[in-house]
Amino acid sequence: MGTFLIAIQTVLPLFLVIFAGAVFSRVKVNHENWIEVLNKYALWIGFPALVIFSLMKLDVDEKSYSTFIILNSVFILASMILVFPVSKILNLSVQTKRTLFLILPFGNVSYLGIPVLFNAYGENILPEAAIISAIYVFWLLTLAILLIEVYGEEKVNLKKLGISLAKNPLLLSVFIGLLIVVFKIKLPDFATKTIELFSNSVTAVVLFSLGIFLGKHKIGKLKEWGTVALINVAVMIVLPWLFYRILLLFPLENVDLKSIIIDAAMPLGVTPYVLALQYKLDTVLLTRVVVFGTIISVVVIPMFIAILK
């Protein structure tokens, strides 16, 4: 119990920032474009800086990340495959089935995951957190969108998928960070400090933006949240727990195990919501999964931190 309370104290400041954003969404000074502006800053400036600054700490000569990348990818792909039997057993509509391709695999590993891992374990875990974010973005913008298009009325556009992947700031920043590490490029101190300043700014920005997003959505009737609760329990507790038991069979470093499982237990993020709007999916279900998942993550994330000690 003591470990759990310490874990809660570790992540509580992050959720207080989210709560502040939710409260702010109700005041008159708040404007509709706040979320868009804050998210664009995070996507194009804050997170790329954080990713590059994190990857600059990598030592590729001493550690191979191939197993780490494969295991994270396996979890995402397995979660996607689950959509097929779940949809068939529950006789879900095509729209809901397509929505599940976003809900089951893709937790908020960037906007919430990176700050949580940093607060819980310090800057030494940031390289792993940055790599996981890149892995999730890669599969989200490739296979997830491909499946959504295949099972919808849209024509599959591989060229469009390739362009969106090549232009994604998170993936570009990973590429830049790895170039700096692999070729041992020494940046001037002023450049490094500038990148660090931007990277330090992004946590509060994205969490506050997430709070505004949550605060703008109506709660609705209690009976409408039963399915949402079951989905979140399955995605945030059951699947990460099963994955954790499987990973114990592998000789993983402690930092790898912690980053993989904590990120696997993250609630759904805002990016899938944007894609759901674009593809006319079940945005009501997806929004409620984001809201409910973020609320219960106040308990779920410390629980996994305590399990991982």
State how far the Cα of 309 lies from the Cα of 167, in Å rounded to an integer.
38
State how far the Cα of 26 lies from the Cα of 211, in Å rounded to an integer.
11
Q: What CATH code is carried by the domain that includes residue 197? A: 1.20.1530.20
Structure token pair of residue 254: 């402690």
Q: Sort 226 into a burial class: Cβ within 10 Å, 0-12 / 13-18 / 19+.
A: exposed
Q: Sort 254 into a burial class: Cβ within 10 Å, 0-12 / 13-18 / 19+.
A: exposed
Domains contained in the chain, number: 1
pTM, whole model, 2 decimals? 0.85
The amino acid present at 297, given as its one-letter code, is S
Per-residue pLDDT, averaged over 146-165, amounts to: 75
Confidence of residue 153 (pLDDT cuts 50, 70, 90): low
Confidence of residue 276 (pLDDT cuts 50, 70, 90): confident
140 closest CA partner among 111, 164, 123, 120: 164
Min mean pLDDT across 49-63, 89-103, 150-164, 258-272 is at: 150-164
What pLDDT does 68 receive?
92
Per-residue pLDDT tens for 170-185? 788 888 988 888 888 8
Backbone angles phi, psi at 62, to 5 degrees: -105, -20
- Residue 117 belongs to domain spanning: 2-308
State how far the Cα of 107 lies from the Cα of 289, in Å rounded to an integer.
11
